[in-house]
């Protein structure tokens, strides 16, 4: 399996197939997501980074048949993504999972292997009206941390929205850059340490994409092109490791579309990247997007 970029859009629905668990197998109470959007409702995305310390170990964990499935609770209720079937579940090192729509406002979030058991994570966050709360979980299973990020449904007219989160298990610092071509880039963020978030909006620079073209293949997304924050000519916004004397020119990695559920070419220009592993040279290996 190509792990270079782990994209929620390309793998939508896989969690449900893996989980095979409906609400009649889990004790409630349940919180059923509404199918109706609105200014007083928002989405929820939960992504659980691989807990292993190395890329090689994470590769093995991601394909393990005995991975634990974790349920997501909001205010003590098991989130269900429709009125009759599947609860919202995630795997450590698995696909991001989405629920639309929940009441906007402050909530208490719990992630647990079974409702009523000791959670692997709990914390308070905000579901934005008209946007999506992204909950990124990371760290070893006995000490899981979480980062809440609010992402709008659409950016301001003429802009693209950028969200970058450092989840790298190796502890490397990264930065977000803007580029006019493949070799001319300047930082627009400071150095981001583990758990740090950078968000901004910049004038939109994207390719007109043909989904059938080679540039639309998921394995090419980290280098830029269709459905990313960097065009095929290298212009746009990306992220990279902070330069060091031994690594003076780390490569630029593109962010990918951070919107679920819309038609491929109708998604607004909202780009998200939460890298978990990179090579020593700075090329993304596993990204929660």
pLDDT tens for 150-169 read: 999 999 999 999 999 999 99
Tell me which range, 59-63, 95-99, 190-194, 283-287, is most confidently predicted by mean pLDDT: 190-194
pLDDT attached to residue 36: 87
- Whether pLDDT at 66 is above 50: yes
What is the pLDDT confidence band of residue 261, given thresholds at 50, 70 and 90? low
Q: Which residue has the tokens 């990179």?
A: 278
111-145 pLDDT, tens digit each:
999 888 899 999 999 999 999 999 999 999 999 99
pLDDT attached to residue 148: 97
Instruction: For residues 240 and 274, give the distance between their C-alpha atoms in angstroms, rounded to a whole number.
Output: 12
What is the pLDDT confidence band of residue 85, given thresholds at 50, 70 and 90? low
Count Cβ neighbours within 10 Å for each residue of 182-192 and write b for 16 or more, e otherwise: beebeeebeeb
pTM for the complete prediction?
0.88
pLDDT > 70 fraction of the chain, expressed in percent and rounded: 83
pLDDT attached to residue 215: 58
What is the pLDDT confidence band of residue 2, given thresholds at 50, 70 and 90? very low
Of 114-128, 210-224, 265-279, minimum mean pLDDT range: 210-224
pLDDT attached to residue 258: 85
- Whether pLDDT at 5 is above 80: no
Choose between 286 and 12: higher pLDDT: 286
pLDDT attached to residue 267: 73
1-153 CATH, one of 1.10.3470, 2.60.40, 3.30.360, 1.50.10: 2.60.40
- Whether pLDDT at 13 is above 50: no
Choose between 8 and 267: higher pLDDT: 267
Domain with CATH 2.60.40 in the chain: 1-153
pLDDT attached to residue 81: 84
pLDDT > 90 fraction of the chain, expressed in percent and rounded: 63
């Amino acid at each position: 399996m190509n792990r270079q970029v782990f994209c929620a859009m390309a793998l939508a629905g896989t969690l449900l197939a893996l989980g095979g668990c409906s609400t009649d197998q889990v004790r409630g109470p349940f919180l059923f997501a509404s199918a109706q959007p609105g200014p007083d409702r928002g989405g929820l995305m939960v992504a659980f980074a691989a807990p292993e310390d190395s890329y090689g170990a994470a590769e093995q964990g991601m394909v393990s048949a005995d991975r634990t499935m974790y349920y997501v609770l909001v205010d003590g209720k098991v989130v269900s993504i429709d009125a009759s079937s599947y609860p919202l579940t995630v795997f450590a090192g698995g696909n991001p999972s989405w629920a639309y729509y929940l009441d906007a406002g402050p909530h208490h979030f719990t992630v647990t292997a079974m409702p009523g058991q000791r959670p692997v994570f709990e914390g308070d966050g905000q579901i934005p009206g008209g946007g999506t709360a992204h909950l990124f979980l990371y760290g070893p299973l006995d000490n899981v941390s979480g980062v809440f990020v609010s992402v709008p449904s659409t950016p301001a007219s003429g802009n693209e929205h950028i969200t970058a989160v450092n989840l790298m298990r190796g502890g490397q610092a990264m930065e977000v850059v803007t580029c006019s071509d493949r070799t001319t880039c300047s930082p627009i963020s400071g150095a981001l340490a583990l758990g740090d978030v950078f968000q901004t909006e910049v004038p939109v620079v994207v390719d007109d994409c043909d989904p059938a073209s080679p540039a639309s293949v998921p394995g090419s997304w980290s280098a830029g092109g269709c459905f990313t924050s960097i065009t095929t000519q290298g212009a746009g916004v990306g992220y990279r490791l902070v330069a060091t004397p031994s690594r003076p020119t780390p490569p630029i990695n593109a962010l990918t579309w951070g919107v679920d559920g819309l038609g491929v070419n109708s998604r607004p220009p909202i780009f998200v990247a939460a890298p978990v592993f990179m090579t020593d040279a700075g090329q993304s290996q596993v990204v929660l997007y």
